[in-house]
Structure 1
Amino acid sequence: MNGSDPKELASLDWVLIFAPYRKDASYTVSLLEEHDIRGQAATGAGLAEMLAESPGAIVVTHEALNADVIATIAKFLRDQPNWSETPIIVLVDRAASSARIQAALSVAWPRSRQTFYQRPVAALALISGVQAALLTRFRQRELRDYLERERELRLELNHRVKNILASVISIFEMTRRGTATIEDLSNDFRGRLTALSNVHSTVFLAGGEEVSLGAAVNSTLAPYRSDNASGIHIDGPEVLVSRNAATTLALCLHELATNAIKYGALSQPNGHVLLKWELSSDADPLLMISWIEIGGPPVVEPSRVGYGTRYIRSALNGLFGESPKLIFAPHGLRCSIHGLVSRLCPKQ
């Protein structure tokens, strides 16, 4: 609302009018309505209740400002949120001491934006003042919304940083237990952090809480694929997964790719890997992912279960709700998993 159309501003808020004497209240309500501004007159007994409904601005006549009314408005101003400085328009008789009234109210109502008009005031001048007050209120609410978004972003950032640090600590501890030398620890830990970093970059560029599975896969496996030739062939339809699901899958794929380079198909010039995923046609579709190694050295099931295997089994079981199938076939390792897409991206 950069144009600040007075009618649009007036529709966002309403004006409380406290003018209990003569016909000031009814006249002011009628005048505001002629300019599409909603006004409501308050009585002395109902002033506190109407203030509690958070008017956009207050119009008050100075002769109505006895000690009780000043105290009631002061309490309302003290209780208002930090972003708020309620606009108050005070209508002062020409014969009254405007300077004295302004000085007294500036002390009594420190958290307000006060505007004073001497009566009789021209209708156009009063309407302009009310519109300016509503614009002020609108800007205050914009500031409130901005501060709330900032607070939510800080909380979200704090939450995500804690999760990332927890992931890093967990990766380090598991890597440390699975390596025998400092060099192995350094290389394995660096590789796993790189995989974590790559998928976080992909999710960030996606601009939301969901990311394409294909994008997450490609960013994770990019370090293992050259521009001219690649031992990893990727095939699968478009499907969105959550940030957490993408991170888990990325770390699992990193473990599989690292194992294939050290011991499996990617350790041989003619070896290659087929990574594919498929979706069933059900109303709540199943996602089936397969990692198939071909052309590597003969596979022998290891006598000791390493970190990578333990992580893949545990992480995929938590993500899909069932354990993956790891087959150490002589002609090549195979890993497959399937589960409901709704588990990987609850919004779908």
Structure 2
Amino acid sequence: MSDIKQNGLGRLDWVLILAPYRKDAAYLAALLQERGVQAKAASAADFEDFLSEFPGVLVVTHEALNPAVIAVIARFLQDQPNWSEIPIVVLLDRVAPQSRILATLSAAWPRSRQIFYQRPVAALELISGIQSALLTRFRQREVRDYLERETELRLELNHRVKNILASVLSIFEMTRRGAVSADSLAEDFRGRLTALSNVHSAVFLAGGEAVSLAAVVDSTLAPYRSDGQTAIAVEGSEVLVSREAGTTLALCLHELATNAIKYGALSQPTGNILLKWEVSSNVDPTLTLSWIESGGPPVVEPSQKGYGTRYMRSALAGMFGEPPEFIFAVGGLRCTIRGPLSRFSQTSR
């Protein structure tokens, strides 16, 4: 009893035959197999075991329809999932009490699609009917697969929306604590939301759970590199980072760029920034990302850490295992982010 049972509901492409009179079962099975339809003939003793393998179509002759068999099929139908409505082909003799049989089976098997043929029936007609019934089963399975995918997508969407709303709420609370006015709150909050939106767009365009680090950098820094300005140079090999790592890096790069505009290299026409990253070649590769400012006003280490610095230290330490390194050199701020590549990215090339 084979691979069909192992595959469970995945296979509906075979026919189970219960025809105890003479050699009817063997004849029907051979007829179907000649046309490329897998068929199995069951006896009254093993019929219920074969049913547990979930056939696509059931063929029963009226001689087999005793109360015990009818009850076995009824129990089987009750256990079917909601999407399944198994076709049952019933072969009736001319002398069989057809109206009574139809009424009995309709009452006993409400969750089935019953197809009746009166014997003798042309082989071509019977084969065509069974093949049509199998096609119906394939359509049912397609509907099942579609509904399962739709359910998975709804759950995934709900999960992601909750995560995004949690991120927005967290960003708002941290921005509010550092705001000195309603205008500064609105400006900072808008910028951080834009950085969050840009990285989500980059992940969406990448079509998966990983995104190119270069795409995260480009989408985050695009507002600061407009009008053909080349004050920010970017260097780095192709690395794929996870959605979470990309989001954290985007927000941190936004903080660095905002700080550079207000106080650092981007506050003066002569200022420049080099953003570069590299992956070490050791057994456990490390990703190192450096933000290097030059040509701006002399740098003085602030007496108190602002929101951006506190956020970067906390977020990056939690995500990558160690906080960023800030060097307040006179010639320009330097920030280095470092961590095992495995914590940044599931895949790299």
Question: Do they superpose with TM above 0.5?
Answer: yes
State the TM-score, normalizing by the size of structure 2.
0.93
For 1:99 and 1:235, locate their aligned partners in 2 and report how far apart those are by CA, in whole Å. 82
Taking a change above 3 Å as real, the CA distance of residues 278 and 347 of structure 1, as seen in their structure-2 partners, is closer
Residue 8 of structure 1 corresponds to which residue in structure 2? none
| Cα drift, residue 347 of structure 1 | 4.2
| Aligned counterparts of 2:346 and 2:284: Cα–Cα separation in 1 | 11
User: Which one-letter code corresponds to 1:153 in the other structure?
Assistant: L
Q: Which residue pairs with 2:7 in the alignment?
A: none
Cα displacement string for residues 185-220 of structure 1 (whole angstroms, at most 9, x for unaligned residues)? 111111100100011011111111111110111001
- For this pair of structures, how many residues does the alignment match? 338
- Is the Cα contact below 8 Å between 2:86 and 2:111 reproduced in 1? yes
Check whether the contact 2:234–2:276 (CA below 8 A) recurs between aligned residues. Answer: yes
Instruction: Report the CA distance shift for 1:76/1:12 in structure 2 as closer, same or farther (over 3 A).
Output: closer
Q: How does 1:208-223 map to 2 (within 5 A)?
A: 208-223=208-223
- Mapped to 1, the partners of 2:128 and 2:318 lie a distance apart of 62
1:95 paired residue number: 95
Q: Which residue of 1 aligns with 2:137?
A: 137
AA aligned to 1:135 is: L
The AA in structure 2 aligned to 1:56 is G
Instruction: State how far apart, in whole Å, the 1-side matches of 2:157 and 2:334 are.
Output: 38
1:160 paired to 2:160: yes
Cα separation, 1, equivalents of 2:203 and 2:162: 17
Counterparts of residues 164-203 of structure 1 (less than 5 Å): 164-203=164-203
Report the Cα offset of residue 12 of structure 1: 5.9
Aligned counterparts of 1:163 and 1:90: Cα–Cα separation in 2: 54
Q: Is the Cα–Cα contact under 8 Å of residues 74 and 108 in structure 2 kept in the other structure?
A: yes
Give the match's secondary structure for 2:88: strand
In the alignment, which residue of structure 2 is the partner of 1:7? Answer: none
Contact 2:268 2:297 in 1 (8 A): yes
> How big is the shift at 1:283?
4.8
Output the CA distance in 1 between the equivalents of 2:24 and 2:210.
58
- Using the alignment, how far apart are the partners of 2:23 and 2:121 within structure 1? 15
C-alpha distance in structure 2 between counterparts of 1:232 and 1:347, whole Å: 27
Alignment match, 1:273: 273
Name the counterpart of 1:335: 335
Q: 298-307 vs 147-156, which deviates more?
A: 298-307
- 8 Å Cα contact 2:93/2:119 also seen in 1: yes
Q: Once the two structures are superposed, what CA deviation does each residue of 1:97-117 show, in whole Å capped at 9, x if it has no partner?
A: 434433332232121122111
Q: Distance in 2 between matches of 1:307 and 1:328?
A: 17
- Matched AA of 1:244: E
Q: Distance in 1 between matches of 2:287 and 2:34?
A: 62
Aligned-residue Cα RMSD (Å) equals 1.5
Alpha-carbon distance in structure 1 between the residues aligned to 2:283 and 2:134 = 51
* 173-182 vs 192-201, which moves further: 173-182
- Name the TM-score, length of structure 1 as normaliser: 0.93
Q: Which residue matches 1:21?
A: 21
Query: Where do 1:1-348 residues align within 5 Å?
Result: 13-348=13-348
Asked if structure 1 preserves the Cα contact closer than 8 Å seen for 2:12 and 2:55, the reply is: no
Identity of aligned residues (%): 71
Whole-Å Cα distance in 2 between the matches of residues 178 and 213 of structure 1? 29
Letter in 2 for 1:311: Y
| Cα shift readout 1:172-193 (whole Å, capped 9, x = no counterpart) | 1111111121111111111100
Q: Distance in 2 between matches of 1:248 and 1:228?
A: 27
Classify the secondary structure of the residue corresponding to 1:144: helix
Per the alignment, do residues 347 and 228 of structure 1 end up closer, same or farther by CA in structure 2, a change over 3 Å counting? Answer: closer
SS in 2 for 1:44: coil
In structure 2, C-alpha distance between the alignment counterparts of 1:112 and 1:27, rounded to whole Å: 25
SS across alignment from 1:161 = helix
**C-alpha deviations, 1:83-110, integer Å up to 9, x for none?**
1111111111122243443333223212
Kept in 1, the 8 Å contact 2:20–2:63? The answer is no
Instruction: Tell whether the 8 Å contact from 2:240 to 2:347 is kept in structure 1 after alignment.
Output: no
- Partner of residue 8, structure 2: none
Counterpart contact for 2:278–2:289, Cα < 8 Å: yes
- 2:220–2:250: 8 Å Cα contact kept in structure 1? yes
In the alignment, the residues of structure 2 paired with residue 283 and residue 113 of structure 1 have an alpha-carbon distance, to the nearest angstrom, of 62
Greater shift, 246-255 or 121-130, is seen at 121-130
**What residue in structure 2 maps to residue 3 of structure 1?**
none
